Amino acid sequence: MKIAELPRFKHQPPENYYYEVKEFKRNIFSIWICHRGGFAYNDGKPTKSIWGFFDSKKGKYFSPVNSKTVGKEVQINNTRSWTSMPIKQTPIELAFK
């Protein structure tokens, strides 16, 4: 599956980044954000971090607990280009939104 095939996925990758989608389990795909710049520790290969998960059967997105564990459902509108993890805000921060 390609990132363009994910329904409602509205994010564009940040500069020097791209998204990669891999089959995780049956009907579940992992979405990775990958940095094109390499580091010495990985011989210049792209560096990858889990963005989140997509359940193709339910058509829903999930935040990650880690790269091997699917977390809670998230609304795509509440996610960011970097991650699907929700932003935790205090009531005072929400009041100034």
Number of Cβ within 10 Å of residue 25's Cβ equals 10
pTM of the model: 0.84
- At 40 the pLDDT is 75
For 30, list phi and psi in degrees, rounded to 5: -95, 140
- In the chain, where are the structural domains located? 3-95
Between the CA atoms of 82, 85, 86 and 89, what dihedral angle is there, to the nearest 10 degrees? -80
Residue that has been written with the tokens 């010495």 in this structure: 40
Structure confidence by residue, pLDDT tens digits, 29-71: 999 999 987 777 777 788 899 999 999 999 999 999 999 999 9
3-state secondary structure of 75: coil
Percentage of the chain beyond pLDDT 90 is 57
pLDDT band for 97, please (50, 70, 90 cuts): low
